[in-house]
Amino acid sequence: MADVIRICFVCLGNIVRSPLAENLFNHLAEQAGVAHKYEVDSAGTSAWHIGEAPDARMRRVAARRGLTYQGRSRQFMRQDFNQFDLVVAMDLENLSDLHGLARSNGHEKKIYLLRAFDPYGGPRTGVPDPYYGGIDGFEETYDIIERSCQGLLRALEEGQGEGKVDSE
């Protein structure tokens, strides 16, 4: 088992959902005293927003809840599979795109859907993209990602001996 579990959260543009997941997971791991066990990053399946900061609306929602973060968007590349132990998609389209990039069974086994870890989600449920909607959508997305990251962290900590999570 690796000393550190490397996780990459992936959405479409890497400006709303995946950077929030990256920062929320880090925050939750710090609160639980296990941050030293994880290296976390995020990326997008598209190149649309490369180099851009996370969406200001999501950062405002997060800041009202005590989470502040920065960062710059980047695109997920095939070679990222070699750098990460888990690649966590935000929705079914991102999941499909990641499977399309995977070139081995080893890569395939690293891909998970975030809401598989949400008690109100499931193995085929995605995190909604609030980009074109109002602030309520950003609030809902924050809640979903927070619950899902809590579930993922719990699954990782409970399965630490095997170094694996079960997405079913």
Domain ranges of the chain: 5-158
CATH architecture of 5-158: 3-Layer(aba) Sandwich (3.40)
pLDDT > 80? residue 81: yes
Q: Nearest CA to 27 among 72, 75, 65?
A: 65
Does the annotation count 11 as an active-site position? Answer: yes
Mean pLDDT of the chain: 93
Active site residue 17: yes
97 given a catalytic annotation? no
Task: Please report, for the chain, how many H helices and E strands are present, in that order.
Answer: 5, 4
Please give the full DSSP string across 122-152, using - where no structure is assigned.
Answer: -TT-PPP--TTS-HHHHHHHHHHHHHHHHHH
pLDDT tens digit sequence for 101-118: 999 999 999 999 999 999
Q: What is the pTM of this model?
A: 0.93
Q: What per-residue confidence (pLDDT) applies to 106? A: 96
Instruction: Estimate to the nearest angstrom the gap between the alpha carbon of 149 and the chain centroid.
Output: 8
**Catalytic residue (one of 59, 80, 129, 149):** 129
**Catalytic residue, candidates 17, 74, 115, 147:** 17
